[in-house]
C-alpha cells in the first residue's frame, strides 16, 4: 500500500508538470526567435597588441527578442574566455565573442525578453615573460583594461537611452555583467576592484614597491584619463546590478566590501587553472602568475557582507554545498559548485577539444547551461523585476523536505550528481525507480554527502530518486533521463 501511494504521488507530480502555467517574461522563453545585431561599435581604445600605437573598435553582438516592442528591458552583458589572448596566439577557438556558451546564453536570455550582449574586449599581456612579476603585472593590467571596456559598454547603452532614441529598448537601471572564465574575472573585477588603496596590495606591487597598475598610463577604474587610454562616454554611470560569473576569481577577498553588487557564481570544484579556493592561477602557458581566490572562498565573503541580500529570503532550490579548507560545508546562496568538473563544463568547441576540457560536448554543455539558467533566472527576477518573487509564504508553504538535497544536472544524459546538506546525517542508500516501481539503480552504504549514479544506460523518461540517510530519514526527487 505504501509503495502504491508513493508512486501515485510520483505520477501526480509528473502529470502536474504537464499542466503548464502561463509563461512569465524574464523567467520563461516567450519568444521563439532572436534578432542579432553583429559587430556593433560600443567604443574605441588603444590596443596593447599594437604597443598602444593603434586604436581598435570595441565590438559587441546584441541579441534581442524578435518582434518585441518593450522599451524597458534589462541588459545582460557577457564576456568570453580565452586567457586574455587572441586565439591566434593560444590556438583556442573560443577566445572571442562567438564562444559557444556565450552565444547560447545570449539567445536564451533574449528569448526570455532580455537584451543580451556578447562583448569583445581588449586583449593582450605577456604570458611568456621570464619572471612571475612581469607575468603578474601584465595580466593584471589586461583584466583592468577589459574592466574599463565593460564599464564603457554600460555607459554606451545608457547614452543611447539618454539621447531619447532608446534604440535598444533598455531599462537604464538594470544591468548584469558576466562571462566565462576570463570574462568572469572581468565582471568580478568591475564589482569589487574599485578603490586606489587596492592597488597597494603587496602581491600587486613590483620589486621597487610601485603598483602594477599605473593610472597615468591606463587611466582610472572607469576608463578615463591615461596616455594609453581613450575616454568613452563620459558623463554616464557605469553602475550595474549583479555579477554572473561562470568560473573566474577575484584578485583578493579583501577587495570585497559591503554594498557592492550581488554575485551569482558557478565553478567546477576540480578546476585547476583558476582555483576553486585560493591559490596561484595557472594560465595556458602552464606557468604560475598571481594568487587569486575562486568562488569557494570569495562567495562566503559576499554572503557574510550581505551583498546577496537582494535574493533573500527565498524558497528557491539551493545549490550544492560549498567546499572550503578541504571539506564540504553548507550551501551559499548565489554559489553553484559543480562536483567533479574542471574548466568550462558549460562550453563546447569547434574541432578537437582543448586538453583543459577533453570531455566537452554540445549536449553536455547545454545541460550545464540548463542548470545555470535555472539557478540564476529566479534570483535575477527577484533582484530586478519583483522583489517579492520566491518569498516563502508563512503558513501556506509546503512542509520542509525530510532530506535537503540537490540533484544535477536534471535532466541528465550520463550521470546524476546527488548532494545532501552536510549538516544532516550522511547518506546510507540511494535508489532509482522507473514508472512501474521497478528498482533500476541502487547505491548501498553510500556513507557521504555526495554520490553519483550513472544513467546513460537507462531509457529516456522520468524516474523517482529516493535517498535514505543513516538516521533513516528519506527524501525523493523526480528526475529525467534524456
Whether residue 404 sits in one domain with residue 377: no
pLDDT at site 254: 97
In this prediction the pTM is 0.82
- pLDDT bin (cut points 50, 70, 90) of residue 421 is low
Q: Is the pLDDT of residue 15 over 50?
A: no
Share of the chain above pLDDT 70, in %: 92
Give the domain extent around 408: 2-11+400-481
For 263-301, the pLDDT digits (tens) are 999 999 999 889 999 999 877 667 889 999 999 999 999
Q: What is the average pLDDT value for the chain, to the nearest integer?
A: 90
- pLDDT bin (cut points 50, 70, 90) of residue 19 is very low
Q: Domain boundary residue among 325, 350, 384?
A: 384
Whether residue 441 sits in one domain with residue 313: no
Q: Domain boundary residue among 384, 408, 424?
A: 384
Helices (H), 359-476: 362-384
pLDDT at site 344: 95
More confident residue, 18 or 349: 349
Whether residue 417 sits in one domain with residue 351: no
Q: What is the largest CA-CA distance in the chain?
A: 79
Any residues with CB less than 8 A from the CB of 462 and at least 6 apart, and which? 14, 435, 478, 479, 480
Whether residue 225 sits in one domain with residue 108: yes
Whether residue 453 sits in one domain with residue 340: no
Whether residue 340 sits in one domain with residue 430: no
On whether residue 24 sits in a domain, the answer given is: no
Whether residue 350 sits in one domain with residue 470: no
For 196-229, the pLDDT digits (tens) are 999 999 999 999 999 999 999 999 999 999 999 9
The whole-angstrom separation of Cα 357 and Cα 353 is 6
Whether residue 456 sits in one domain with residue 371: no
The whole-angstrom separation of Cα 126 and Cα 137 is 9
- Supply φ then ψ for residue 328, to 5 degrees: -80, 135
Whether residue 418 sits in one domain with residue 283: no
DSSP state of 256: -
Helices (H), 56-181: 87-90, 100-111, 132-162
- pLDDT bin (cut points 50, 70, 90) of residue 342 is very high
DSSP state of 250: B
The whole-angstrom separation of Cα 241 and Cα 239 is 7
- Altogether, the residues listed in the chain come to a count of 482
Number of domains present in the structure of the chain: 2
The domain that holds 134 is classified in CATH as: 3.40.50.1820
Q: Domain boundary residue among 360, 384, 408?
A: 384
pLDDT at site 20: 45
For 349-402, the pLDDT digits (tens) are 998 898 889 999 999 999 999 999 999 999 999 999 999 998 875 543 333 445
| Lowest-confidence region among 131-140, 215-224, 460-469 | 460-469
The whole-angstrom separation of Cα 463 and Cα 436 is 9
Beta-ladder partners of 134: none
| Residue 311: alpha-carbon gap to chain centroid | 16
On whether residue 77 sits in a domain, the answer given is: yes
Amino acid at each position: 500500500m505504501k509503495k502504491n501511494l508513493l508512486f501515485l504521488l510520483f505520477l501526480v507530480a509528473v502529470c502536474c508538470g504537464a499542466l503548464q502555467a502561463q509563461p512569465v517574461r524574464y523567467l520563461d522563453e516567450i519568444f521563439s526567435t532572436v534578432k542579432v545585431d553583429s559587430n556593433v561599435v560600443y567604443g574605441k581604445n588603444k590596443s596593447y597588441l599594437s604597443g598602444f600605437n593603434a586604436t581598435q573598435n570595441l565590438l559587441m553582438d546584441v541579441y534581442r527578442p524578435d518582434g518585441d516592442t518593450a522599451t524597458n528591458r534589462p541588459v545582460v552583458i557577457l564576456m568570453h574566455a580565452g586567457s586574455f589572448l587572441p586565439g591566434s596566439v593560444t590556438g583556442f577557438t573560443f577566445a572571442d565573442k562567438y564562444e559557444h556558451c556565450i552565444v547560447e546564453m545570449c539567445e536564451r536570455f533574449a528569448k526570455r525578453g532580455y537584451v543580451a550582449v556578447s562583448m569583445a574586449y581588449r586583449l593582450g599581456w605577456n604570458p611568456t615573460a621570464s619572471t612571475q612579476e612581469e607575468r603578474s603585472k601584465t595580466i593584471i593590467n589586461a583584466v583592468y583594461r577589459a574592466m574599463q571596456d565593460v564599464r564603457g559598454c554600460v555607459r554606451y547603452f545608457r547614452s543611447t537611452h539618454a539621447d531619447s532614441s532608446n534604440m535598444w529598448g533598455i531599462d537604464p537601471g538594470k544591468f548584469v555583467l558576466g562571462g566565462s572564465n576570463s570574462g568572469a574575472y572581468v565582471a568580478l573585477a568591475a564589482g569589487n576592484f574599485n578603490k586606489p588603496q587596492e592597488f597597494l596590495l603587496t602581491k600587486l606591487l613590483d620589486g621597487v614597491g610601485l603598483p602594477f597598475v599605473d593610472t597615468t598610463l591606463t587611466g582610472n577604474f572607469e576608463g578615463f584619463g591615461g596616455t594609453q587610454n581613450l575616454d568613452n562616454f563620459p558623463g554616464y554611470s557605469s553602475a550595474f546590478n549583479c555579477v554572473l560569473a561562470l568560473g573566474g576569481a577575484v584578485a583578493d577577498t579583501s577587495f570585497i566590501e559591503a554594498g557592492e553588487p550581488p554575485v551569482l557564481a558557478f565553478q567546477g570544484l576540480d578546476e585547476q587553472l583558476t582555483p576553486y579556493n585560493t591559490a596561484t592561477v595557472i594560465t595556458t602557458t602552464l606557468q604560475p602568475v598571481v594568487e587569486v581566490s575562486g568562488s569557494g572562498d570569495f562567495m562566503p565573503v559576499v554572503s557574510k557582507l550581505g551583498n546577496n541580500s537582494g535574493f533573500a529570503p527565498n524558497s528557491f532550490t539551493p545549490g550544492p554545498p560549498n567546499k572550503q579548507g578541504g571539506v564540504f560545508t553548507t550551501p551559499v546562496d548565489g554559489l553553484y559548485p559543480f562536483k567533479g568538473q574542471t574548466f568550462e563544463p558549460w562550453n563546447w568547441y569547434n574541432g578537437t577539444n582543448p586538453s583543459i576540457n577533453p570531455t566537452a560536448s554540445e549536449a553536455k554543455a547545454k545541460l550545464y547551461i540548463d542548470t545555470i539558467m535555472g539557478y540564476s533566472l529566479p534570483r535575477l527576477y527577484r533582484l530586478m523585476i519583483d522583489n517579492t518573487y520566491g518569498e516563502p509564504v508563512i503558513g501556506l508553504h509546503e512542509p520542509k523536505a525530510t532530506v535537503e538535497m540537490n540533484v544535477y544536472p536534471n535532466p541528465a544524459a550520463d550521470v546524476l550528481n546527488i548532494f545532501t546538506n552536510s549538516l544532516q546525517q550522511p547518506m546510507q542508500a540511494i535508489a532509482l525507480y522507473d514508472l512501474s516501481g521497478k528498482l533500476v539503480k541502487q547505491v548501498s552504504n553510500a556513507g557521504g554527502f555526495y554520490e553519483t549514479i550513472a544513467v546513460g544506460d537507462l531509457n529516456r523518461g522520468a524516474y523517482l530518486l529516493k535517498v535514505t540517510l543513516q538516521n533513516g530519514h528519506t527524501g525523493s526527487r523526480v528526475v529525467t533521463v534524456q
